[in-house]
Amino acid sequence: KNPRSSVIIVGAGISGISAAKVLAENGVDDMLILEASDRIGGRVRKEEFGEVTVELGAGWIAGVGGKQSNPVWELAKQSNLRTCFSDYSYARYNIYDRSGKIFPSGIAADSYKKAVDSAIQRLSQEANHDASTAHDVSVLAETPSTPKTPIELAIDFILHDFEMAEVEPISTYVDFGDREFLVADQRGYEHLLYKMAETFLTTKEDKILDSRLKLNKVVRELQHSRNGVSVTTEDGCVYEANYVILSVSIGVLQSNLISFRPPLPRWKTEAISNCDVMVYTKIFLKFPYKFWPCGPEKEFFIYAHERRGYYTFWQHMENAYPGSNILVVTLTNGESKRVEAQPDEETLREAMEVLRNMFGPEIPDALDILVPRWWNNRFQRGSYSNYPIYVNHQHVDDIKAPVGRVFFTGEHTSEKFSGYVHGAYLSGIDTCKALLDEMRKDKGRKNENQAFL
């Protein structure tokens, strides 16, 4: 039988690790971290591709240069993480049509203005609409500025999936500043998590050797009562604790991977199922040589296709890794799910066709392709939570509220910064503080009872 811990943390992404660090700093050393995969990091994940390190999950530190410092930017500075300034706002002036011509900047600017107007109209409709369905654009009426042509569709896609800050103030940019930095470090974005883990777990030569972190432990059942929590993993192990912090993604909470006994109350399950999950996929392509422009303001470019989101947003990696000859194309939601379901050769064929439309038939074939599958990963089930701009505050409160001895954390529990690394990091700290309060109260109640007896 495993010894009972004070707290079990399910998941070793940045929220789980930041929660564990705060526990350790407050003298709670007998915590246990159960992680389903064979590594820490979760959606902060690097992979070697084309002789460099690429980030399959989070790639940017968003929100830098403001009055208040982004805590993840602080961690990056402390760890000397290599980053480069990144600005995709000018991507709208590098829009290619199907015949490889770049749209004149006047046309691009007009289409951009139209897309912003449409977004503002849509948002005001959302504001007057039931918040729980507001993110479902299909229920909103068409407006005269609804995007229709390939360039309008492309800009609409960029605006909604990348640049929403230009339409509505976003807390990340308001609080921390509007600059963004791309992580370009061979140790990966995940190096920040290792540095954090190092402060409270035993490590040797960049490896965590601490029995309080258990990898390959897929939690399948959480039995909770007034007296404690019992956690069962897929390999049949049972771990007991006074409390649990659950840091798995909203997509995992929506799936049936973890069952709760007794089941979660209805207000909780409804809040979980009403949360929209965004799928965001960065596809990496390695080439024998560069055939794309690399001058100033050319890092990002757009392909205008009649299908919204079809291989629309492109980036070259020459700023991050000169000479790497790597292109990245970002797909989202329906397009992400479609390519996840097909063989990578088919995705490569589609991407090459788009590139040949933009740059001509003579460009070389890609040597390699990497297609992350966040939607089909049973430990993720999507990329991040997607709350509507006019979020119902009760909805987020319900998602993060504890149920008895089960506490919830992760980017989806952050009202201000959901969907970001700093949102996840800060949520781990918040949840842990709430738990420490509860532990103090519990201790107080026990002392009172003892005094009474």
Residues that bind ligand FAD (CB under 6 A): 10-16, 34-37, 42-44, 57-60, 62, 218-219, 247-249, 252, 257-258, 280, 282, 374, 379-380, 383-384, 410-411, 419-421, 423-424
Whichever of 232 and 324 has its CB closer to ligand FAD, that residue is 232
Whichever of 53 and 380 has its CB closer to ligand FAD, that residue is 380
| Minimum CB distance to ligand FAD, residue 335 (Å) | 13
What is the rounded distance in angstroms from the CA atom of residue 206 to the CA atom of residue 241? 29
Whichever of 151 and 244 has its CB closer to ligand FAD, that residue is 244
DSSP code, position 89? G
| Minimum CB distance to ligand FAD, residue 22 (Å) | 14
The two structure tokens encoding residue 13: 């992404």
Count Cβ neighbours within 10 Å for each residue of 92-124 and write b for 16 or more, e otherwise: bbbbbbeeeeebeeeebeebbebbbebbebbbe
Whichever of 111 and 315 has its CB closer to ligand FAD, that residue is 315
What is the rounded distance in angstroms from the CA atom of residue 6 to the CA atom of residue 241? 5
Beta strands of 103-178 (E only): which ranges?
A: none
DSSP code, position 377? -
Whichever of 15 and 333 has its CB closer to ligand FAD, that residue is 15
| Minimum CB distance to ligand FAD, residue 192 (Å) | 11
Count Cβ neighbours within 10 Å for each residue of 127-142 and write b for 16 or more, e otherwise: eebebbebbeeeebee
| Minimum CB distance to ligand FAD, residue 55 (Å) | 8
* DSSP states along 186-242: TT-TTHHHHHHHHTTS-EETTEE--TTEE-S--EEEEEE-SS-EEEEETTS-EEEEE
| Minimum CB distance to ligand FAD, residue 168 (Å) | 18
What is the rounded distance in angstroms from the CA atom of residue 271 to the CA atom of residue 279? 19
Whichever of 108 and 396 has its CB closer to ligand FAD, that residue is 396
| Minimum CB distance to ligand FAD, residue 381 (Å) | 9
